[in-house]
Structure 1
Amino acid sequence: MLLAILLPGFSMMVNGHLLKGILCFVLQITLIGWIPAAIWGVASRSQDLAEKRHRETLEVLRARR
């Protein structure tokens, strides 16, 4: 999470969102754009974690059948 706040563009690239990461980095370059970029980075990271939990839950439910 700290990486998503300090370097949101890099955080997105690490999580496999290359184009989003580049766009976020461009936004991050400006001082005013840093805050929206950090919020976007944290939101993207949270969404990735939620999708991972969702996939794991579906796997458990399928294994029970």
Structure 2
Amino acid sequence: MTLIAIFFPFLSFMFRGRILTGIICLILQITLIGWIPAAIWAVISLQNSRADRRNRKLIRAMKTK
């Protein structure tokens, strides 16, 4: 998924269900200069999503004990 976020940043958002964000990213990505910020944005967003999922899992595990 990280490679998709680097080479096709808008697809990274689309696969996670963030359609409007994916369209905004695609508009940014269309320009060659905007490709790098779009890729960075997609990778950071992907990492934040993974961290949020991990935190929710830890909180759920702590509540069951």
TM-score relative to the length of structure 2? 0.95
Number of matched pairs: 64
Amino acid at match of 2:51: A
TM-score relative to the length of structure 1? 0.95
Give the Å deviation of 1:18. 1.1
Aligned to 1:7: 8
Alpha-carbon RMSD across the aligned residues, in angstroms, is 0.6
1:15-46 superposed Cα distances (whole Å, 9 cap, x missing partner)? 12111111001100100000000000001100
Aligned to 2:47: 46
Aligned to 2:61: 60
Q: Which runs of 4+ in 1 moved over 3 A?
A: none
Structure 1: gaps (5+ residues): none
